[in-house]
Structure 1
């Protein structure tokens, strides 16, 4: 006969409170997506505070739907509410997260990515049973755009301003004129930022996902950059061609690759003898328990539903995961032939490694 377990009521109440907060956040993802899709954040930012009726008049949307959406957002501290005027306001801090696409903390992409994990769930659940992966192209349709939107603010505010200058002699090469390969480029935001900043250099973005390459080419055309100097090609990180590169970059993608050691070995061969491999990865400590924090929690969730399934669907399937940590990443890079690896820079969300021969 099993002994009756004794529980601590205060701990139970605290945990239930935590779970209620988690459920509130999970339910909020759809409402944030609605707010972004319908332009409600931008309207509140530009037009100022409003009651539900005033916002309905300004937007043409249903007052009854808006009334509930506004109440949810005030209960979530996403909006401020004035009881005297019954108006809802988007404070400047919240606007940086929800409305300003150029803000370093713009997080709409994070909510959209969370949304895509629900769509991925049946395929990932089957992966738990079979051990098989879920190919990048077979994942949620909107995920590729969401991933690009999530990482873009960090690249906008760090790549040219601090990450590249932290590498030994790289900015000087780029200013003179260098050849650069950006592997796993996705929608090309990282490639295009570098190309705009260094007009004397040439850039090739590589990704194995054809739709992402199409999107990257569209972004290049929108920005009016010369296709003879900036182009995007479909290729894997283990077979991209060109060679003789001064710089190879890899942004938040190495851990998604099924054979990161093979990638490192191929990058080594494609670099000039004095070339540099810049590896940007999600921020993570080497010890598991040191990642039990809000950033680690977020990345482990994404890793379980997106990153590990993607890697397991590829050849070798090492599946580093989004929280690999500097020690494991360095081991992989050195196994590919590099002798020097150092942490050049970091942010709360990323570590930047410099690899040299």
Structure 2
């Protein structure tokens, strides 16, 4: 890449970073929600409690960026009426939309907020717990996969795995969701399989508290239970039909120990499903946008989280299939197959004990 091309890329990334920060502001201040009805800057300010001058500047910037629509751009600044077009609303104001992008702003904002702590972790050779990244990363991670879990997990993904689907449908079926986060995967499982009981475990207490609240709100607290438990803890013997790692295994300090614990916890014909980053099979420079995203996320978040505990495997987000196969073999699994599920940034595996 030439110097000119490289500096142009950096300029575009700086622009993107700044605009993403304005999306974070809009999300946290409720500005996108306030645009549910068209309004002038003063009207949007009244709906949010933010002073009109800030709101007017934000609305103009958002319109310049193409994130918000304006009905009358030639009107006086205080009289212009702003709104969200349908596509803008799907990306910026509807967390149930498969196109929702607000989660990306929260994740970026959360990582940016803790950069000094990340810097210190790098200098000292330590890590940073998931909880240390704060509310933005926890909320952003939950929202990032929410639409997939609530709309595709049971309707599309699991039916494409007939052996897993059959295990979840049998009488007395139990599932274990490791690294469950704020609970949407566990909740979606018990909603989609009425006879299923599911346990979600996560090391982050705030995530588990959110998951419990979401289960109550969703009316499934009797079937989806959540506990603060490490994934490599003892989960019992022969208790579960299926265990799931939804974008969590690469963050775990001790992935082989977690897989061993899960293998012990499975019933004789049980299976493990892993959904994790769709990193390329092999390292190569000048990677795809997905590979670049995974690399940056690993540097700023995933690797520090993994290194927050002693004797960490230090996996990171560039979690290549060969690494997963190695971990599974060390944990005693006899087979790893890549599942026939299409996804832009995730890869799915089924592990057989």
Compute the TM-score of the two structures, normalised by the length of structure 1.
0.89
Question: Matches of residues 71-90 of structure 1 in structure 2 within 5 Å?
Answer: 71-81=60-70, 83-84=73-74, 86-90=80-84
Long gaps (5+) in structure 1: 1-7
Aligned to 1:22: 13
Query: Is 2:31 the partner of 1:40?
Result: yes
C-alpha distance in structure 2 between counterparts of 1:302 and 1:100, whole Å: 24
1:288 Cα deviation from its structure 2 partner: 2.1
Aligned counterpart, 2:174: 179
C-alpha distance 333-42 of structure 1, shift in aligned 2 (>3 A) = same
CA contact (8 A) 2:236 2:264 kept: no
Whether the 8 Å CA contact 2:177–2:245 is kept in 1: the answer is: yes
CA shift for structure 1 position 250: 0.7
Deviations 1:313-355 (A, max 9, x none): 2242111111212222122112211111111123002111111
- Kindly report which structure 2 residues correspond to 1:159-238, keeping only aligned pairs within 5 A, or say none: 159-177=153-171, 178-227=173-222, 229-238=223-232
Q: Which moved further from structure 2: 157-166 or 289-298?
A: 289-298
Q: 1:84 deviation in Å?
A: 4.7
Aligned length: 345
Cα offset, 1:255, TM superposition: 0.4
For structure 2, the 5+ residue unaligned runs are: none
The answer to whether the 8 A contact 2:110-2:134 is kept is: yes
Structure 2: distance between partners of 1:286 and 1:47 = 47
1:281–1:350 CA contact under 8 A, matched in 2: yes
Q: Which moved more, 1:245-254 or 1:217-226?
A: 217-226
Matched, 1:107 2:101: yes
Stretch deviating more after TM superposition (111-120 or 326-335): 326-335
Q: Does the alignment pair 1:347 with 2:339? A: no
Q: Structure 1 residue 266 and structure 2 residue 255: aligned?
A: no
Question: In the alignment, is the contact (CA less than 8 A) between 1:300 and 1:323 conserved in 2?
Answer: yes
CA contact (8 A) 1:136 1:310 kept: yes
Say whether the 8 Å CA contact 2:67–2:88 is kept in structure 1. yes
Aligned to 2:110: 116
Secondary structure at 2:175 match in 1? strand
Alignment partner of 1:145 out of 118, 139, 162:
139
**Alignment match, 1:63:** 52
CA contact (8 A) 1:277 1:354 kept: yes
Question: 1:291/1:155 Cα in 2 relative to 1: closer, same or farther (>3 Å)?
Answer: farther
User: SS of 1:24's equivalent?
Assistant: helix
CA distance in 2, matches of 1:22, 1:226: 43
